[in-house]
Amino acid sequence: MSEPQPATVSAHSELDLSAIRVVLVHTSHSGNIGAAARAMKTMGLSDLALVSPNDFPSDEAYARSSGAQDVLDNAQIVESLDDAIAECGLVVGASARSRSLPWPMLDPRQLADRVADHPAGSKIALLFGREKSGLTNEELARCHYHVNIPANPDYSSLNLAQAVQVLAYELRMRALVNEPRPAGPWGVDWDQPPARADQLEGLFQAWEKTLVEVDFLDPTNPRTLMNKVRRLILRAQPDEVEANILRGFLTQVDKSLRKR
Ligand code: SAH
């Protein structure tokens, strides 16, 4: 008879590399897109989304991809980041710099643990920013976590495709080992899927509307309130039902305000 499994070890399938979508945001150099596709394919990743690339499709991208043309051929090209991540239940932004508002941070190995712990069937987005300026604060505020490659503090910015390579390598290493699942937020089998990015975005808009209506948020002087609300809710990683409860509650608040 097999040993009973400890309760914190989930019965989820192995880390599923096909659930991971690499999202390159406003990439300037098409060569970097090709090199990123190559980095992905060497590590067994294939889902690439490009948000308003400057120059794609391009010969340079295909030249730099070597044998990874299929990743480029199948790349999804979208106008907005929201389109690229809509169906994802975990969104992580790769960032070389620390930002003014602290956010839950992972290193690449911790990222791999989080991904291994993520419920099967829910997609995961990894966001990579522009070569010159990285990800904007608004883009980073869509993420459950930020991931930082702990590079030389005096020279910490990797080439875009090399950053993709480092994260993809750690994910592959985690997929190859058969360790027990870490007991993260989803350490046990859950009854509901994680809320998707598009549902969370709708929820944040509902919060903002209600906070304005009850005069808690001054739209002429919003400061960082909405980012703090986002951070709180993203940190809790609500599932779909929990997100719907919050959304339904806010709708009801708006309705009763109008009745008065
Ligand atoms: N000059 C930009 C860095 C751009 S590098 C800046 O200061 O933000 C392009 C992208 O590669 C970054 O947006 C990030 O997604 C990724 N990247 C580069 N270095 C990284 C690091 N040390 N840790 C995590 N991501 C990194």
Dump the DSSP string for 67-131.
Answer: T-HHHHHT-EEESSHHHHHTTEEEEEEE-SS--SS---EE-HHHHHHHHHHSPTT-EEEEEE-BT
In a domain, 40, yes or no: yes
CA of 132 to the centre of ligand 1 (A): 9
pLDDT of 190: 84
pLDDT of 34: 98
Q: What is the pLDDT of residues 143-160, one digit of tens each?
A: 999 999 999 999 999 999
Structure tokens at 183: 């007991």
Co-location of 44 and 148 in the same domain? yes
Residue 151: C-alpha distances to residues 95, 124, 174 (Å): 11, 24, 21
* Probe target for ligand 1 pocket from 137, 158, 167, 169, with the most ligand atoms within 8 Å of CB: 158
CA of 222 to the centre of ligand 1 (A): 28
What phi and psi values does residue 140 have, to the nearest 5 degrees? -65, -25
Cβ-based neighbour number of residue 216 at 10 Å: 10
132 CA: nearest ligand 1 atom: 1
CA of 147 to the centre of ligand 1 (A): 10
pLDDT of 21: 98
156 CA: nearest ligand 1 atom: 22
Please tell me whether residue 234 adopts helix, strand or coil conformation. Answer: helix
Q: What is the pLDDT of residues 1-52, one digit of tens each?
A: 444 444 333 444 468 999 999 999 999 999 999 999 999 999 999 999 999 9
Co-location of 44 and 137 in the same domain? yes
CA of 54 to the centre of ligand 1 (A): 18
Q: What's the rounded Cα separation, in Å, for the pair 47 and 212? A: 39
Q: Whose CA is nearest to atom 20 of ligand 1?
A: 96
Co-location of 49 and 114 in the same domain? yes
Which residues form ligand 1's pocket by a CB distance below 6 Å?
94-97, 128-129, 131-135, 148-149, 151, 156-158, 160, 163
Co-location of 203 and 164 in the same domain? no
In a domain, 6, yes or no: no
149 CA: nearest ligand 1 atom: 23
What phi and psi values does residue 144 have, to the nearest 5 degrees? -70, -40
pLDDT of 1: 42
Q: For residue 254, give the CATH number of its domain.
A: 1.10.8.590
157 CA: nearest ligand 1 atom: 19
Low-confidence ranges of the chain (pLDDT < 50): 1-13
* Probe target for ligand 1 pocket from 23, 29, 95, with the most ligand atoms within 8 Å of CB: 95
Co-location of 171 and 241 in the same domain? no
pLDDT of 181: 63
Co-location of 157 and 224 in the same domain? no
For residue 229, what are the domain limits? 197-259
Please, where are the H alpha helices in 108-218? 108-117, 137-140, 160-176, 197-213
Give me the number of domains the chain comprises: 2
Q: For residue 116, give the CATH number of its domain.
A: 3.40.1280.10
Give the torsion through C-alpha atoms of 163, 166, 172, 176, to 10 deg: -170
Edge-to-edge strands, sheet with 145-147: 76-78, 47-51, 20-25, 123-128, 88-94, 145-147, 105-106
Q: Whose CA is nearest to atom 26 of ligand 1?
A: 96
Co-location of 118 and 168 in the same domain? yes
- Quote the pTM value: 0.91
In a domain, 11, yes or no: no
Co-location of 90 and 205 in the same domain? no
Q: What's the rounded Cα separation, in Å, for the pair 237 and 144? A: 7
In a domain, 192, yes or no: no
Report yes or no: 92 and 127 within 8 Å, Cβ to Cβ: yes
Q: What's the rounded Cα separation, in Å, for the pair 235 and 215? A: 25
What phi and psi values does residue 151 have, to the nearest 5 degrees? -85, 180
Co-location of 40 and 76 in the same domain? yes
Q: What's the rounded Cα separation, in Å, for the pair 155 and 52? A: 28
In a domain, 185, yes or no: no
